[in-house]
Structure 1
Amino acid sequence: MIVISCFHQNVVEEITMAMCRARALFSFSKCKPTLLSPLFHFSPIRRFSSSEFESVGFIGLGNMGSRMVHNLIKAGYKVAVHDINCNVLKKFSDMGVSTKETPFEVAEASDVVITMLPSSSHVFDVFTGPNGLLQGGNLLRPWLLIDSSTIDPQTSRKLSVTVSKCILKEKKDHWVNPVMLDAPVSGGVLAAEAGTLAFMVGGSEEAYLAAKPLLLSMGKNTIYCGKAGNGSAAKICNNLAMAVSMLGISEALALGQSLGIAASTLTRVFNSSSARCWSSDSYNPVPGVMEAAPSSRNYDGGFASKLMAKDLNLAAASAIDVGRKCPLTSQALEIYTELCQDGHEARDFSCVFRHYYSGMDEF
């Protein structure tokens, strides 16, 4: 008679259970494929390696783009750039950066191309216009195209479909199509220079994960927002909220001053209670309250009022497209359009406090 200890008995039971599970899996594997598909059928997923993003093309060297390129160079990427401004191109050329005459030439030299442009029409032209990224017809060299411009979601989605119909010049395994991500940013010029931008990304999740290290060389946060166009949608919603909160804070501070409360005192109240927001604790619109804010630099630099008006236009158009009533969007757009018409389009959007709410035109 053999006596088995409790410990050995447990081991025997575990082995027996494992054998049962193995037999069950073997039996299940002989079931029809339709039964297997929910659990065991995986669509092929394109896997990008870091080496596929060594050569980066960048188109759009304005206040944001030029600083993003500097951070890419610091991170060790080989960069080729293009801009319609020849003076800007010369500055990069003098730094030893490869400059190209057309977007198509950038594409031919790059594994991934990033665009940072003023408007939807500019993006569409860079992609599909003469000498554009897609000039070569259906053949494309870059694996990935990333648009960081602030544009409407519809344009992002149209371009994503167009790109997906192209064929890669250099095939990788069975994958033959390039991918596009819409990845607008938040943080402004200061964040672009410091490399602390936040990216809102729409498109293929696999491409997003592959591009994440590249994006983090220019920023500190990346948020995956879902399907193509969702990054663009997130950005215009973010800027809509930013515009409305700036108007609310400006209106409250102006009223408070009229009632005899110092702006600095009321700001401390806001930041210690429920009114606290980015416009009160980081970007205060009243001159002298926050030394680093554009309001304390005569509203120079920062995020131009004309850009805020543009983004509010995008939000208003998108609301119409989906049949959504957005009264605050309409009111904010009206105010910022008026601000631009009065000659303050180049000033930081927080100047709405001084011009619209305090009634002071002198800057």
Structure 2
Amino acid sequence: MLGLRVVRITSGISLRNFSRHATLKSSQSPVGFIGLGNMGASMAENLVTKGHRVVVYDVVPESVAALEKKGALVASSPAEVAAQADRVVTMLPASRHVQDVYEGPNGILSSVRGGALLIDSSTIDPTTAIDISKKASDKAAVFMDAPVSGGVVAAKAGTLTFMVGGDEAEYDAAKDLLSFMGKNVIRCGNVGTGQTAKICNNMLLAVSMIGVSEALNLGQRLGLDAKTLSGILNISTGRCWSSDTYNPVPGVFDGVPSSNDYNGGFGTALMAKDLGLAQVASTETLSPTPLGSLAHQIYRTMCQKGYAEKDFSSVYKYLSTEESCEPKQ
């Protein structure tokens, strides 16, 4: 064990009243955080810098060491995190990772405390979220899905949007914690609805990023400067987040992945995964999503062509380097 001094939740105190009990200040009651990737590391750091004692775990030792240097405490497994914390946040790549972290031999549910609040900010399929929620309930714990929007820039700034699916009675407790990492915390409904909101958002994001990339590539091939065209788009009807905040053309904006050789940010493989979740959902509900389907195919193709670890805005580079469709003489 870590030997931490842990203040337990007093019997009879509901999670929704947690933030109103002065004896349980953030500095006294540790928060667990599992998953320290591009997003998770910044989210956990915000909790540390804003006064929380944070117990972290990740499979990558370097990621753990970086947070430890900033003041986080370290656990050796998800089970050890859950044994030390009454509130645990997870931020993981895919459904299988979430299932392993929660349900594996050294998973959260093997040692979770009764009354604990478990918040998963990964993007997974709604069915998995609902299943884990039921298993957490069997352990007298509360599980909520709370995927995020805003990307690495918002994760670092603490301005993420959280889409929360969970019991309304416990929502205030979740919002109290998530507000240290985000600007907008919105309850969507019961468990699973947060994931539904997220996959719909990411499908739209993928489509808009492809559209912006196509327009900027076409404009440049017709002789327009990318900055000039971007400026026009951003005061015109084509304006969107992919053009005015996360522009995919290198050099248009500083501090975005496109100006860092598409490193960091939200990986193409993760976007392909999220689009796959949206396609499964569209099939199950008989919802026509032709542009979402095409976006899925484009991002899957990019993964096969070496873009898997690059930021999803690298679709601009992929499109701009494709050979011309003009027939050869």
Question: Which TM-score tier does this pair reach, normalised by the shorter chain?
Answer: 0.7 to 0.9
Write out aligned runs for 1:208-219 (5 A). Answer: 208-219=171-182
Displacement of 1:109: 0.8
Write out aligned runs for 1:123-162 (5 A). Answer: 123-136=98-111, 140-162=113-135
The equivalent residue for 2:187 is: 224
Could you tell me whether the CA contact under 8 Å between 1:264 and 1:289 is conserved in 2?
yes
Equivalent-residue separation in structure 2 for 1:96 and 1:280 (angstroms): 37
Could you tell me whether the CA contact under 8 Å between 2:89 and 2:121 is conserved in 1?
yes
TM-score, normalised with respect to structure 2: 0.86
Write out aligned runs for 1:55-134 (5 A). Answer: 55-134=30-109
The equivalent residue for 2:210 is: 247
TM-score, normalised with respect to structure 1: 0.79
Larger CA Rg, structure 1 vs 2:
1
Structure 1 residue 47 and structure 2 residue 16: aligned? yes
Per-residue CA deviation, residues 300-335 of structure 1 (Å, 9 max, x unaligned), is 222211111111111111212222221111100111
1:346 alignment partner, one of 302, 305, 309: 309
- Any stretches of 5+ residues in structure 2 without a counterpart? 1-13, 324-329
Equivalent-residue separation in structure 2 for 1:142 and 1:84 (angstroms): 27
Matched AA of 2:302: L
Identity percentage of aligned residues: 51
Alignment CA distance shift 1:332-1:162 (3 Å): same
Matched AA of 1:166: K
Could you tell me whether the CA contact under 8 Å between 2:32 and 2:81 is conserved in 1?
yes
Alignment CA distance shift 1:207-1:245 (3 Å): same
1:280 alignment partner, one of 234, 243, 264: 243
Matched AA of 1:279: S
Per-residue CA deviation, residues 235-264 of structure 1 (Å, 9 max, x unaligned), is 111111110001111112222223333322
- Any stretches of 5+ residues in structure 1 without a counterpart? 1-44, 168-177
Structure 1 residue 293 and structure 2 residue 268: aligned? no
Could you tell me whether the CA contact under 8 Å between 1:108 and 1:141 is conserved in 2?
no
Equivalent-residue separation in structure 1 for 2:178 and 2:86 (angstroms): 14
Matched AA of 1:208: Y
The equivalent residue for 2:159 is: 196
Alignment CA distance shift 1:277-1:90 (3 Å): closer
Displacement of 1:265: 2.7
Structure 1 residue 264 and structure 2 residue 227: aligned? yes
